Amino acid sequence: MSEFLVPGDFIDSAHPAVVSFSHKHSKGDTALERAVSLYYAVRDEVRYNPFIDVSDRETYRASSVLAAGQGFCIGKAALLAAAARAAGIEARIGFADVKNHLTTPRLAETMGSDLFVYHGYADLHLDGKWVKATPAFNLALCKRFRVKPLEFDGRSDSIFHAFDEDERRHMEYLRDRGRYVDVPVAEIQRVFSETYPKFYRLGRDAAKETFA
């Protein structure tokens, strides 16, 4: 289990900012209590933003997500895993393909699909078992779109709801992509570039213009 406690390239749990964030928000006497408090800190203090440059490796790195104050599902999951490791909790990152039945028109147009491949979540080892924790959607975003916020008690998996507050179909899990010690960025970027060529190209071109 030691591999789930050491810093990774993207789950960079030894980064000073990540360590500081973990110490600040890690509350409680038990690992379970600390994990729950870290979950809510990542969920609500880091804004969810799907319109980011997924061709930029920094969007997957925990410390970079923390510095930006925003990230998409993979970056936020990496941050939770990193903060957990900094608090002495074994953590890894997992992935699944999901279909978002409530994708906004803007996001559907940009991505060209309502299928989200390599949706990321944190996987924390608590009380002898692995528990999924999905800190992607911050509370303010959930209230805005009437999506049920994901709660986490450290005992049962926290995964996307099948229906929203108005009983409209929301998230559908289609494929398990496995769990990893660190974020497999090269593989994710390869799949993203094939699945969302327009979205991937837009992000890459915007980054080129920024640094030109």
In the chain, domain spans: 2-211
Distances, alpha carbon 9 to alpha carbons 4, 12, 62, 79, 136, in Å: 13, 6, 9, 12, 21
Residue with tokens 């327009």: 198
- 110: Cβ–Cβ under 8 A, 6 or more apart, which residues? 51, 198, 199, 202
CATH T-level topology, domain 2-211: C8orf32 fold (3.10.620)
- Predicted pLDDT of residue 204: 58
- Predicted pLDDT of residue 188: 95
Q: Would you give per-residue pLDDT tens digits along the chain (212 residues)?
A: 899 999 999 999 999 999 999 999 999 999 999 999 999 999 999 999 988 888 899 999 999 999 999 999 999 999 999 999 999 999 999 999 998 766 767 777 777 777 889 999 999 999 999 999 999 988 888 888 888 888 999 999 998 776 777 777 778 889 999 999 999 999 999 999 999 888 777 665 543 333 22
Confidence (pTM): 0.89
